[in-house]
Structure 1
Amino acid sequence: MRRTAAAVAGGLALVAVAVAYGVHQVVGQPDEAPDFSGGGSGTVTIEITPGASAAEIGKTLERAGVVASAQSFVEQVITRSKESGLHPGRYTLRRRMAAASALDLLLAPASRVVRTVTVPEGLRTSEVLRILADRTGIPAKDFATAVAEPRRLRLPAYAEGTAEGFLFPATYEIEPGMTAVDLLRKMTARFRVAAAKVKLEDLAPRMRLTPRQAVTVASIVQAEGGVPADYPKIARVVYNRLARGAKLEMDSTINYALNRHTLKVSNEDTRVDSPYNTYARPGLPPGPIGNPGESALTAALHPAEGTWYWFVTTDPRRKITKFTDKEAEFRKYREELNRYLGTN
């Protein structure tokens, strides 16, 4: 007896092998397979799961009323040598289609139903996980478990085992069978792409920072900034204060410590006992306070030139931020903001 071993990795490869197996399951039946004619009518969405054989795909189509028989579909697959052309995913087809037409649509990229989730820039990891759970159908506890085991997420070494700051904001495709770990790995992989693009590891030392510290600066810039054009100026304020050994006094870090979002930070708030309290502690907080996008990362590595020591977003609705190196002007800008907050 001869034994044959095959090792197959990945959903696409599994489909290819399974399709071939399914072909040989069905082909060879002597009766002519029932088949519809024409392109069909109406719409129906079907899903091909990773590892589905040609026979299984055909049966799915038959049950959905797309094709008249699984056998007619598989005969088309083998006749046209498309055993490796069927991929996992959700597809929009029509009812009562000729098997050849159904195969055409399964091979057409435009027929694939793409589910996506968009993660905005600057969200905290807890907020990111909530969005992912709400919009993917993957249980929230799965994301919480995945983040609690950061070694599974393929974070860069300089992340020091924490996901905060390294779940890159972007639009992600949700593939059939995707798990929480799969999706979070996509996000950390996308972070690596962005980090390489902005040359994070090369340029951070020029700012006298580690890559993690540069991401921390970027997260503050993202949280404080109104518009991307202001990000390099905000980064410069951070560096000017660090150069003097001063406290950063960033409201965004207080909000992070208190797990909230507000423009109204009180004197009592600034006394919160937290390593993220930059009113009480000099230097950077111990890590990122959100997940910054590429513009904020770039600003952290390429700050504007200037002597600014303060900034105030005087009109949050219109995102107007004013910068100064004079304390008197800073106090005037604070009054502008207070008037805004008093009437809004």
Structure 2
Amino acid sequence: MNDLDLDSLLGAEDDEGPRRKGRGSRVNRARSRRRQRRQRRKGFVAFFVAMVIIVGVLGVGGYYGYQWVRDMAVAEDYAGPGTGEVIVEIKDGQSAGDVAQTLVEQGVVASERAFVNAIDAAGKTGSLQPGQYKLRKGMAAVVAVPLLDPKLRLQTTLTIREGLRLSQILQQLSTATGKPVTVFQKAAKDAESLELPAYAKGRLEGFAFPATYEISPKSTPDEILASMVARFSEAAEQADLVAGAKKVGRTPLEIVTIASIVQAESGNVRDMAKVARVIYNRLNRDPEMKLQMDSTVMYGLNKFGIAATHEELKSKSPYNTYARLGLPPGPIGNPGDHAIEAALNPAKGNWLFFVTTDPKRGITKFTDSETEFFKLAEEFNKNHGAG
């Protein structure tokens, strides 16, 4: 075989090679496509299985979620208006949830959720106010909500007017609360629980401040009287009573005592500063004059009236300022803020006498002349029907 033949043979083999390679490539591509199709089928199956699992989980979760929502929305509740009577107290700062818990504990509503749903639906979540309310046991929540209206709070409004004696105040408190007056009398002696100021020397007279009070059924006598003392302390602070007493050369107790006399002797507010001035002029006179106030005499005798009789003026009581110099041992009543202000800031004047010549109209006249005083006394007797 010559070289040409060898080359031809070799060339023939080379020419066939590429053709063989082309067929192999096509086979490989076909195999690749089959593998891809198998992988896609497996991926689809896996995706399908995953979706089935997810849908199943969501279905189970959705069922239980629905059950939970339904249980929350349809809370355990009583039916009807309930029975009996329950006093429920809402404390300051309590939320609807706090109140719901209290209602459940006292057997008013069946569940906290029932009450919260009911008050939310009524739009009254923000209207709850501290106080005591009368409800019933076993009430439907929607029936309980309207009974917590602030207008239905169980409170007694009591106004204590200026100048009343402690004995009168205690009787009024007894009447308003239905509690025996003896329990108030006992509470009035507990200076520590009442938190009386030290200068009161343990006596409540003069420190049961006249004002309007809201009294709940559960308030104890101690609590009620303590609130009156607290109100006095507020008034004393506003008037700067302790420092003011020092400026006029008196003790705080003497100021309250003067204020109580001013309250008892004044026909109206506009005369209070003048009455106070008469008291100071008599106390500061050299030699000191007796106050000669009928109101103090009547207090010492535990009587009421605007003019003491000759027999009453002979009283041995330490409150008889016709017989004794100086102020009585303590207040003869419970003065208001106007009288306290007058005691701290008496009017300017030289008056030594005053007479309420017309008690019905509250007309009081002042003078520094004893002769004029007797004339005013005659005018009083005429108007009072005694002359």
Bucket of the pairwise TM-score, normalised by the shorter protein: 0.7 to 0.9
Equivalent residue, structure 2, for 1:209: 250
Letter of the 2:103 counterpart: A
Q: Is the 8 A contact 1:49 1:177 kept in 2?
A: no
Residue 129 (structure 1) shift: 0.5
> Which of 175, 181, 189 in structure 1 is aligned with 2:222?
181
Cα RMSD of the aligned pairs, angstroms, is 3.0
Q: Deviations over 1:116-166 (max 9, x none)?
A: 111111011111111110111122111111122222211001101110100
Q: Output the CA distance in 2 between the equivalents of 1:204 and 1:145.
A: 31
Q: Is the 8 A contact 1:88 1:176 kept in 2?
A: no
CA gap 1:49/1:323 in 2 versus in 1, 3 angstroms: same
Q: Does 1:298 align with 2:298?
A: no
Residue 280 (structure 1) shift: 0.9
CA gap 1:74/1:142 in 2 versus in 1, 3 angstroms: farther
CA gap 1:312/1:321 in 2 versus in 1, 3 angstroms: same
Q: Is the 8 A contact 1:35 1:72 kept in 2?
A: no
| Higher RCO structure (Cα 8 Å, ≥6 apart) | 1
Q: Output the CA distance in 1 between the equivalents of 2:204 and 2:234.
A: 16
Q: Is the 8 A contact 2:163 2:336 kept in 1?
A: yes
Q: Does 1:190 align with 2:234?
A: no
Equivalent residue, structure 1, for 2:356: 313
| Number of equivalences | 296
Equivalent residue, structure 1, for 2:322: 279
Unpaired stretches in structure 1, ≥5 consecutive residues: 1-26, 60-69
Q: Does 1:99 align with 2:141?
A: yes
Equivalent residue, structure 2, for 1:227: 268
Q: Superposed, which structure 2 residues align to 1:23-34 within 5 Å?
A: 32-34=76-78
CA gap 1:126/1:34 in 2 versus in 1, 3 angstroms: closer
Equivalent residue, structure 1, for 2:374: 331
Q: Does 1:118 align with 2:159?
A: yes
Q: Deviations over 1:289-309 (max 9, x none)?
A: 001000100000011110010
Letter of the 2:77 counterpart: A
**TM-score (ref. length: structure 1):** 0.78
Equivalent residue, structure 1, for 2:88: 48
Q: Is the 8 A contact 1:50 1:88 kept in 2?
A: yes
Moved more, 300-309 or 147-156: 147-156
CA gap 1:272/1:168 in 2 versus in 1, 3 angstroms: same
Q: Secondary structure at the match of 1:263?
A: coil
Q: Is the 8 A contact 1:58 1:74 kept in 2?
A: no
Q: Output the CA distance in 2 between the equivalents of 1:33 and 1:227.
A: 60
Equivalent residue, structure 2, for 1:18: none
Q: Output the CA distance in 2 between the equivalents of 1:219 and 1:261.
A: 15
Equivalent residue, structure 2, for 1:128: 169
CA gap 1:281/1:154 in 2 versus in 1, 3 angstroms: same
Residue 207 (structure 1) shift: 1.2
Q: Percent identity?
A: 46
Unpaired stretches in structure 2, ≥5 consecutive residues: 1-70, 92-100
Q: Superposed, which structure 2 residues align to 1:14-93 within 5 Å?
A: 32-35=76-79, 47-49=87-89, 53-59=102-108, 70-71=109-110, 75-77=114-116, 87-90=130-133
Q: Secondary structure at the match of 1:90?
A: strand
CA gap 1:86/1:331 in 2 versus in 1, 3 angstroms: closer
> Which of 200, 203, 218 in structure 2 is aligned with 1:159?
200
Greater Rg over alpha carbons, structure: 2
CA gap 1:86/1:314 in 2 versus in 1, 3 angstroms: closer
Residue 71 (structure 1) shift: 1.8
Moved more, 132-141 or 331-340: 132-141
Letter of the 2:275 counterpart: I
Letter of the 2:364 counterpart: T
Q: Output the CA distance in 2 between the equivalents of 1:279 and 1:174.
A: 40
CA gap 1:251/1:110 in 2 versus in 1, 3 angstroms: same
Moved more, 322-331 or 256-265: 256-265
Q: Is the 8 A contact 2:355 2:376 kept in 1?
A: yes
Q: Deviations over 1:27-56 (max 9, x none)?
A: 99x9853556xxx9xxx9963147983225
Q: Deviations over 1:4-33 (max 9, x none)?
A: xxxxxxxxxxxxxxxxxxxxxxx99x9853
Q: Output the CA distance in 2 between the equivalents of 1:86 and 1:114.
A: 13
CA gap 1:209/1:33 in 2 versus in 1, 3 angstroms: same
Q: Secondary structure at the match of 2:385?
A: helix
